[in-house]
Amino acid sequence: MTATPQAGSLADSLGLVAQEVADLTVLADHLQGVISRMAAAAAPDRTLMVDAQAADLLHQRLQGLASFMNALAIAAPVGAAHGVAGALRGLSLSEQARRLAGHAPAAPEGSGELTTFWD
């Protein structure tokens, strides 16, 4: 269940954080799959198996945090004020700040080609 709080309210901000954490859960799940494929292709390695278990724990903890934040969003008093501007300024990723401010993601630039860290 996703909260449907009043726009601009504390509940709205908490709901946006819950959605951000839920999105991170999807990324953690993807990373878990990558690590599993790497582990299957590699020689048996205890460290790699521990890392695979850590990725699973990361996924579970993010899922729990998303549920917790959503519950807080639902329970937040109607009309409760907040001031998130300072917190948003502290974020290093501008797209994350846009999402947490309640704005739609910016339109993707370019042709849609994959860009990696090595490009």
Amino acid at position 33, single letter: G
Between 8 and 92, name the one with better pLDDT: 92
Q: pLDDT tens, 54-88?
A: 888 999 999 999 999 999 989 988 877 677 777 88
Q: Please give the model's pTM, rounded to 2 decimal places.
A: 0.71
Residue 31 has pLDDT above 60, yes or no: yes
In 10 A of CB 18, how many CB atoms?
A: 22
Q: What are the extents of the domains in the chain?
A: 1-76
- Of the given ranges (17-26, 67-76, 110-119), which has the lowest mean pLDDT? 110-119
In 10 A of CB 4, how many CB atoms?
A: 11
Looking from the CA of 114 toward its CB, the CA atoms found within 13 Å total 3
Show Cβ contacts of residue 45 under 8 Å, excluding neighbours closer than 6 positions: 39
pLDDT at 5: 39
Q: How far apart are CA 50 and CA 52, in angstroms?
A: 5
